A and B are shown apart, each in its own frame.
Chain A
Amino acid sequence: MKHHFIDRYSNLESPIHKLNTTLKLFLAVALIITTVIQSQIPAYKFVLIFAVLLIALYTSHIPLTFFLKNLLIILPFACIGGLSILFANSGDLYSSFIGIKIYHQALMNFITILEKSIISIGTIILFVSTTRFDHILKSFQDIKVPSLIVALLSFIYRYVFLVIDEFMRTKMAIVARSSRQPTLTLWSYMISRSFFGSLERGEQIFQSMKARGYNGTIKTLNNENFTTGDGIILFLCLILYALLWKL
């Protein structure tokens, strides 16, 4: 299956996990943006950035295999479109192999895309696996993401497993009663049942929220502070990013 939830280790305790969420979000997004706006990334810079990611990973106690496995699972999906870049016809011929011609410029472009993808995906995996999803939501609230979007994200996170379980149970019930695999018609029935189930659940959750004083907005407490440690990390990372891209 293509979908792997990459927040499996977000509950660990580590210096990286303890960092302020908004700070981590900012640093991650800043790294991704500064990476993708480069026209090309020399090999030594790529190695340097990847090393920084690995150091952060090591500090966060997240298994290296988890990180690499997810990177390798996600990367092909990201880069499949990039293959056409590799075979583009432009500039000097670089090499020709059993009739497939690869041009120098095309190869450079492809490598750049690959480097950018690895850094971006690696950064996201690192951020999400070192930050609890509810903290990400609170950080979104702080940076003024519309409250409806934050609330929907919170509901997705809370109820997606429940819906998947329901699907699986219905599927097993169908398979148990007929020897054949379910057809499109049967799947559609399952989906529509689950759809009505969801609407009914929405109605009941609305009652349950009303019963506890809900009046249109979800309010939460944000327990995170911006500590001196966070400040030092921010300062160091900004210097690091500047060095990375200006040297």
Chain B
Amino acid sequence: MHIPDGFLSIPVATSTYVISGSWVGYSIKRVREEAGEKAIPTMGVLAAFIFAAQMINFPVAGGTSGHLVGGTLIAILFGPYVASIIISTILIAQSLLFADGGITALGANILNMGIIAPIVGFVIYRALRKWHFKASIFIASWVSIVLSAAACALELSLSGTIPINVSLPAMVSVHALIGIGEGLITLFVILAIEKFNPDLIVNAKLHTNNAR
């Protein structure tokens, strides 16, 4: 889903840069107020953890494997602001260290994977968790992946690169499958985390004192 350089028009590239920049800037302000001095070390090791987890292929089901994106996972645990900052930073690191995702498309990539995904995931999880805890996690992560793929398709068609009647069905159908992996992995990881420390799931805050 990482859009490379050259696929976006100037208006799409610049407007997504502006939107992403503003949201990430606002998130930083919020997190700084909430977590204070601890923001750097705690989020730093979490970012390294998610970055590494994204590089690992999981067995999902029926012999297939997938890998974690983690936007919804972090959003469920620490809220959408922390998730946006961490995923955005990871996207910057990937565009440099792996040349994965273009420099001029960074705004769009952050918007899709670092903003839309965690916010959507967080909102759906919060709305549905009273109804069914496990289902809410799966649905939240699945929808977050599908919607960010749809946003990606929309940006490509707005740029005049790939027409919407081609890009949308292709992106959404592929990511409807990938989303199942993301949903299952996120669900299983949250369940495992809950077993060790139920408080963490309830609090959804960046307080690490209770971490053990």
A/B contact in complex, CB under 8 angstroms: yes
Q: Is the CB of B93 within 8 A of A153?
A: yes
Contact partner of B44 (CB less than 8 A), chosen from A6, A121, A155, A162, is A155
Q: Is the CB of B4 within 8 A of A120?
A: yes
Question: What 1/0 mask marks residues of chain A from 131 to 172 whose CB sits below 8 Å from any chain B CB?
Answer: 001001000000000101101111111111011100100000
Q: Is chain A's interface secondary structure helix, strand, loop, or mixed overall?
A: helix
Q: Is the CB of B41 within 8 A of A33?
A: no
Question: What 1/0 mask marks residues of chain B from 59 to 78 whose CB sits below 8 Å from any chain A CB?
Answer: 11100000010000000000
Known contacts A149-B88, A149-B89, A155-B48; decide if A196 and B100 are in contact (CB<8 Å): no
Contact partner of B92 (CB less than 8 A), chosen from A7, A153, A203, is A153
Q: Is chain B's interface secondary structure helix, strand, loop, or mixed overall?
A: helix
Q: Is the CB of A202 within 8 A of B98?
A: no
CB distance from A120 to the nearest CB of B (A): 4
CB distance from A176 to the nearest CB of B (A): 18
* Chain B hits for A113, CB < 8 A: 6-7, 161
CB distance from A82 to the nearest CB of B (A): 7
Q: Is the CB of B59 within 8 A of A187?
A: yes
CB distance from A207 to the nearest CB of B (A): 9
Q: Within the assembled complex, what's the spacing in Å between the Cα atoms of A236 and B39?
A: 43
* Chain B hits for A200, CB < 8 A: 211-212
B170 CB–A CB distance under 8 Å: yes
CB distance from B8 to the nearest CB of A (A): 8
Q: Is the CB of A188 within 8 A of B191?
A: yes
Contact partner of B45 (CB less than 8 A), chosen from A32, A157, A159, is A159
Contact partner of B102 (CB less than 8 A), chosen from A37, A120, A146, A205, is A120
With A7-B97, A200-B211 given, name 10 new contacts (CB 8 A): A2-B98, A5-B97, A78-B4, A116-B6, A120-B5, A120-B104, A167-B56, A192-B192, A198-B45, A210-B37
- A-B contacts, 8 listed (Cβ < 8 Å): A116-B6, A120-B102, A120-B104, A124-B103, A153-B92, A191-B192, A196-B212, A202-B42
